[in-house]
Structure 1
Amino acid sequence: MEVNTQEQNKTIALEAFEALFNQRDYALAERYWSPHYIQHSAHIPPGREGLFDLVRAIPETSKYELGLIAAEGDFVIMHGRYSGIGLPANWIAADIIRMKDGVLIEHWDVIQDEATREQSQSGAPMFGDSFPKEKEQE
């Protein structure tokens, strides 16, 4: 039964990110994020409304792409790319979500700017199997 819950949590977390970051459907997103949501990210104001207001403030061209998702108990970790966010570089993030009863209740993240081929000392891209195109970085 634990495996099913973890699989369900992964599905719900991905649907939540799709609703908020890609569709910008705030009514739908409210179903996924608890009204008592706890935000640990230093760059996002507290609560569900702090997150929603952040998304409202970024360009409509922004999008979230999932690279990898894993679950353990009530936690889901998503490794993804935020592009078109109005900054000089895309963000590559590990979003750590705690869930309860199918709802996102707490969040932490680790974010860094996506390196271009010229910036990558390892020679490997940070997300997927190719480096970002210059237009994606804008």
Structure 2
Amino acid sequence: MKYGFALLIGLLLSLPVHATGANDPKTVVLDFYKLAMQEFKPREAFARYAAADFVEHSADSAGGTAASTVTFLEGLIKQFPDPHWEVVRSVAEGDLVFLHVRVTPAPKAPAIAVAEIFRVRNGKIVEHWDVIQHEPAKAVNPNSMF
């Protein structure tokens, strides 16, 4: 019996541990996204959640740095002052976090589907990629993009 208990403890200790709490990659990304995109404070969000060596892969951000991405997002907010950013799905695997987002740039405007991919290291966002698809006026597929 004592060997069975020791074996059980050994098996439990060998299981992978998933981070939870403030430095959990999914928590970091969701907190970042809320502050940057839903509260319209990208500069504050990058200061708080982005690593010093942050790399932006989006073709919309000239320079590929945190500073250029903040400038791009601030311009986007000025261009569309009443957008709605809704995280429809979020998935985390290791240091990667994936978001499926519905963006409505203005009231009654067609939605935009955005797939966001973040890499997190030591509680800071170090990389970001995105894929963007505008909702067509008339979809040939009856299934929702969301």
State the TM-score, normalizing by the size of structure 2: 0.74
Structure of higher CA gyration radius = 2
Give the equivalent residue in structure 2 for 1:96: 117
Moved over 3 A (4+): none
- Give the superposed CA RMSD: 2.3
SS in structure 1 at match of 2:72? helix
C-alpha contact (below 8 Å) 1:115/1:126 kept by paired residues: no
Give the equivalent residue in structure 1 for 2:61: 44
After TM superposition, give the deviation of residue 115 of structure 1 in Å: 3.0
Equivalent residue letter for 1:27: E
Structure 1: segments with no counterpart, 5+ residues: 128-138
Give the equivalent residue in structure 2 for 1:23: 39
How many Å separate the matches in 2 of 1:29 and 1:2? 28
**Pair 1:64-2:79 in alignment:** no
C-alpha contact (below 8 Å) 2:100/2:115 kept by paired residues: yes
C-alpha contact (below 8 Å) 2:60/2:72 kept by paired residues: no
How many Å separate the matches in 2 of 1:33 and 1:60? 24
After TM superposition, give the deviation of residue 69 of structure 1 in Å: 0.7
Question: Measured at CA, do residues 15 and 96 of structure 1 come closer, stay the same or move farther in structure 2, by a change above 3 Å?
Answer: same
Give the equivalent residue in structure 1 for 2:5: none
Identity among equivalent positions (%) equals: 25
SS in structure 2 at match of 1:4? coil
Which of 121, 124, 128 is matched with 2:143 structurally?
Answer: 124
After TM superposition, give the deviation of residue 4 of structure 1 in Å: 2.4
C-alpha contact (below 8 Å) 1:115/1:125 kept by paired residues: no
Deviations, residues 30-58 of structure 1 (Å, cap 9, x unaligned): 11112321011111221111111111112
Equivalent residue letter for 1:126: M
After TM superposition, give the deviation of residue 89 of structure 1 in Å: 4.2
**Pair 1:3-2:24 in alignment:** no
Question: Measured at CA, do residues 124 and 3 of structure 1 come closer, stay the same or move farther in structure 2, by a change above 3 Å?
Answer: same
Deviations, residues 50-79 of structure 1 (Å, cap 9, x unaligned): 111111112221232101111111100111
**Pair 1:84-2:105 in alignment:** yes
Task: Give the count of matched residue pairs.
Answer: 124
